[in-house]
Amino acid sequence: MTVDRGWRIALRTLALAYLALLLLAPVGLVFYRTFEHGVMAVWDSITTPAAISAFWLTIEVTAIAVPLNTIFGVLCALVLARGRFRGKALLDAIIDLPFAISPIVVGLALVLLFGRGGWLGDLPFQVIFSFPGIVLATIFVTLPFVVREVTPVLREIGDEQEQAASTLGADNWQTFWRITLPAIRWGVAYGVILSVARSIGEFGAVSVVSGKISGETETLTLLVEKRFANFDIAGAYAASGLLAVIALTTLVVMTLSNARRDET
């Protein structure tokens, strides 16, 4: 398609304006509002015991949910891309369930399952209104990301390189580490970034199962919401700013650690 110069510039401007209006403006405003009353005010409001606890809870939940979903996601993608079995289409559809169901329904489902009187309500440790419940909810909502990023990459690269490795004497484990994983690492990295972002930002499902006990089961997003509801607008902005910083840090770290992109 050939588009003349004027049109090209107009289209580009439109796309950038769209991005600026819908993405950059709100995020930028959060930062602007956060620092409106000076750095010290922000520092004070993100170092309250409740904020520190919320920060670490969010990090801990993410540190458990994301690695689990990464391992499961890569395995699942291998099964979907390489396996030949009945019910593959069904498995494929089930993976998308967390995308299809509203997070708040996920939270309610977990309460039904693990809450008092649920099928698994009699476990020796508390799940609902406690740490395990938050982790479970987070795993549930972030499950599809790695699978969905890695499966098409696996299909694209095919299995000839893996076969070649096996004829050269590599066992399945060696083939996975030396051939398959390097070939899919961009898909994995992107899936991890999306999973981390979603884990940090998850609100609906976590809000239902956490019980929102300040200093115990309150994540950063829940803290933002509580402060906002209590008319502590500045505090809400500060916590939001912290969330945004974690997300941006993840993005930058992942990008830098994968910076050496091979020419393939």
Partner 1 sequence: MIAARGVTKRFGDFVALDDVSIEIPDGSLTALLGPSGSGKSTLLRIVAGLEQPDEGVVEIHGSDQTRVPPQRREIGFVFQHYAAFKHMTVHDNVAFGLTIRKQPKQRVRARVEELLGIVGLSGYAERYPSQLSGGQRQRMALARALAVEPRVLLLDEPFGALDALVRAELREWLRRLHEEVHVTTVLVTHDQEEAMAIADHLVVMDHGRIEQVGPPREIYDRPANGFVMGFLGPVARLGDRLVRPHDIVVELEPGEDAVEAQVGRVVHLGFEVRVELVLDGQDPVLVQLTRHDAEQLELAHGDIVWVRAPRLAQAAT
Q: Which is nearer to partner 1, 78 or 183 (CB)?
A: 183
Contacts 24+ apart (CB under 8 A), 80-84: 80/147, 80/151, 80/154, 81/151, 81/154, 81/155, 82/154, 82/159
Q: Which is nearer to partner 1, 138 or 180 (CB)?
A: 180
Does residue 4 belong to the site contacting partner 1 (CB under 8 A)?
A: no
Does residue 262 belong to the site contacting partner 1 (CB under 8 A)?
A: yes
User: Which of the ranges 13-21, 50-58, 171-179, 196-204 carries the binding residues for partner 1, by CB under 8 A?
Assistant: 171-179
Amino acid at 261: R
Does residue 243 belong to the site contacting partner 1 (CB under 8 A)?
A: no
Closest CA to 112 of 208, 213, 222: 208
Give 216's contacts (C-beta < 8 A, 6+ positions apart): 53
Burial (CB count <10 Å: 0-12, 13-18, 19+), residue 11: exposed
Burial (CB count <10 Å: 0-12, 13-18, 19+), residue 71: exposed
Count of alpha carbons within 13 Å of 238, Cβ hemisphere only?
A: 23
Does residue 166 belong to the site contacting partner 1 (CB under 8 A)?
A: yes
Q: Minimal distance in Å, beta carbon 149 to partner 1?
A: 18
Of 49, 171, 256, 259, the one binding partner 1 by CB under 8 A? 171
Of 15, 182, 245, 252, the one binding partner 1 by CB under 8 A? 182
How many residues bind partner 1 (CB under 8 A)? The answer is 19
Q: Minimal distance in Å, beta carbon 179 to partner 1?
A: 6
Q: Minimal distance in Å, beta carbon 185 to partner 1?
A: 8
Of 164, 248, 251, 252, the one binding partner 1 by CB under 8 A? 164
User: Which of the ranges 19-27, 136-144, 163-171, 249-257 carries the binding residues for partner 1, by CB under 8 A?
Assistant: 163-171
CA distance 200 to 54: 11
Site for partner 1 in 189-218 (CB under 8 A): none
CA distance 236 to 179: 46
Does residue 155 belong to the site contacting partner 1 (CB under 8 A)?
A: no
In the complex, which residues of this chain contact partner 1 (CB under 8 A)? 160-161, 163-171, 174, 178-179, 182-183, 262-264
